[in-house]
Structure 1
Amino acid sequence: MATHLITGAGSGIGAAVARRLLDRGDELWLLARDAGRAKELAGRYEGARTLVGDLAEPERLSWALSHQELPERLDSLQHIAGIVELGPVGDTTPKTWNQTLAANLVSPAELTRLLLPQLRLARGHILFVNSGAGLNAHAEWGAYAASKHGLKALADALRQEEHGNGVRVTTVYPGRTATPMQAKVHSQEGKEYDASRWIAPESVATAILTAIDLPRDAEINDLTVRPGR
């Protein structure tokens, strides 16, 4: 039985991955931003363990995790949570930049740092759910795209650093996916949202499981998933 720690299990891609892993009998540890959210996740995913740590405050993650029981080993750490706030660079305030970078880049880096011993012990897998915006930046996506470009750099450096420890690192770049975040993006863009036009979260979950289930003689470094419609 493999052990996984997942951020973003409350909805969208993270929820699809968590359900698939739980249904096949794996052990889940789910990161929640507060105790109320942790209770909600524990009720939704029977048998899953929860940890409380707010990705909006990466500087407090070390303190938060030091006061909780952690898994002894991790077969995968999956960074799936993220936030988005669209707007022209000329209108984007330092508050938005800092919030976006904290949740999408600095917290994944810090969470990885804190859990590397467990990942090294298991010769585990670190998986980052990035975005098409992590490869190409478009107008009004500046802060989000910058955070995701940074996340790509983090993954690429980490892959080289941890290769000798047997830790695999994969980045998945989904195109537009039918999640609550996508509904928010459409609202910010002033567009009508039609979930049927976009990738189902379950399809991205299939790509993620393919990467982490790959035999040890191979590694998927980067995986792009695009809408098929």
Structure 2
Amino acid sequence: MSARGSAAADGVPLAGHVAVVTGASSGIGRATALRLAADGATVLAIGRDQERLDSLGKESAGPGTLLPVQLDLTDDSAVGELVADITAQHGRVDHLVHSAGAYTSARVDAATLADLDAQYAANVRAPYALTQRLLPALRVAGADTGADIIVVNSTQGIRAGAGTSQFAATQHAMRAFADSLRQEINDDGVRVATIHLGRTATPRQETIYAREGRQYQPSLLVQPADVADLVAYLIGLPPSAEITELHLRPAKKSY
């Protein structure tokens, strides 16, 4: 029986696993980090807001370990130091969950190139670079019990609406990245899944609603914990199976 199967039999499905979760200061990343720690993993929860990360660490109830990491993922040298630390201390990464990113909306005739550059840096280059640097550690886990890379994308990665050209372009890019990467590393025991999300009850979404002049009713939206459950489901699949894409949207379409 694999190490993963043995741990599951003991009721702690991710005991001994190492997970890296970005965007863990709030929203989806926060819920995912807490869920994986609750399932027994050692979770490196990466975010930019130190105060929120501190509270995240206090909120975790185990039986895994949650390690808050304050980091700007667009800082190449800082990311390099983090990856070196992960390699030295753990030697492997079983699960990498990308849920960090930036969002700006504007029509093409009003959008700024500075906003385009910022979204490219946060939404494409940063996750690409982090994945690239963690591939050796992911392959170690892949050769053992299997590993996962999960990209939390958007419905804008499938189609683009007016005013979202820049953000949607980055989401389409990440979908292509995930598809290409999957073909390269499946043979190493590493699965790659993309989750395309509709409107989700996060601080970003609350800001979007305010900008649109609409009433924000988070109970009608996908909940961060729903996404965390989906991540846990993908991770829990047997090594013989891989889901490549999932689409998750609010059940009530009157949002």
After TM superposition, the score normalised by the length of structure 1 is 0.91
Asked if 2 retains the 8 angstrom alpha-carbon contact of 1:6 and 1:29, the reply is yes
**Matches of 2:75 and 2:167 in 1, distance apart?**
17
Given candidates 14, 20, 23, the residue that maps to 1:5 is 20
The C-alpha deviation readout for 1:161-194, integer Å capped at 9, x for no partner, is 1112111000001111111111011122222211
Aligned CA-pair RMSD: 1.9
**Matches of 1:67 and 1:143 in 2, distance apart?**
33
> Aligned residue for 2:211?
188
Percent identity (aligned):
37
Structure 1 80/41 Cα, relative in aligned 2: closer, same or farther at 3 Å?
same
**Matches of 1:221 and 1:83 in 2, distance apart?**
24
**Matches of 1:180 and 1:28 in 2, distance apart?**
22
Deviation (angstroms), 1:18: 1.6
> Aligned residue for 2:106?
87
Deviation (angstroms), 1:110: 0.4
> Aligned residue for 2:116?
97
Deviation (angstroms), 1:34: 6.6
Structure 1 197/184 Cα, relative in aligned 2: closer, same or farther at 3 Å?
same
SS in 2 for 1:86: coil
The C-alpha deviation readout for 1:100-144, integer Å capped at 9, x for no partner, is 111111100000011111100001110000000000000011111
For structure 2, the 5+ residue unaligned runs are 1-14
Letter in 2 for 1:27: T
**Matches of 2:42 and 2:59 in 1, distance apart?**
14
Deviation (angstroms), 1:51: 3.3
> Aligned residue for 2:11?
none
**Matches of 1:9 and 1:122 in 2, distance apart?**
22
Q: Relative to structure 2, which stretch is displaced further, 153-162 or 10-19?
A: 10-19
**Matches of 2:50 and 2:84 in 1, distance apart?**
13
> Aligned residue for 2:245?
222
**Matches of 2:123 and 2:81 in 1, distance apart?**
18
Letter in 2 for 1:177: T
Given candidates 178, 194, 200, the residue that maps to 1:155 is 178
Aligned pairs, how many? 228
> Aligned residue for 2:30?
15
> Aligned residue for 2:141?
122
Letter in 2 for 1:101: Y
Deviation (angstroms), 1:22: 1.6
Give 1:19-168 correspondences, 5 Å limit.
19-33=34-48, 38-45=53-60, 47-55=65-73, 57-65=74-82, 68-70=85-87, 71-123=90-142, 124-168=147-191
After TM superposition, the score normalised by the length of structure 2 is 0.83
Letter in 2 for 1:133: Q
For structure 1, the 5+ residue unaligned runs are none
Structure 1 66/205 Cα, relative in aligned 2: closer, same or farther at 3 Å?
closer
> Aligned residue for 1:209?
232
User: Which protein shows a greater Rg?
Assistant: 2
**Matches of 2:78 and 2:52 in 1, distance apart?**
16
SS in 2 for 1:100: helix
Structure 1 37/159 Cα, relative in aligned 2: closer, same or farther at 3 Å?
same
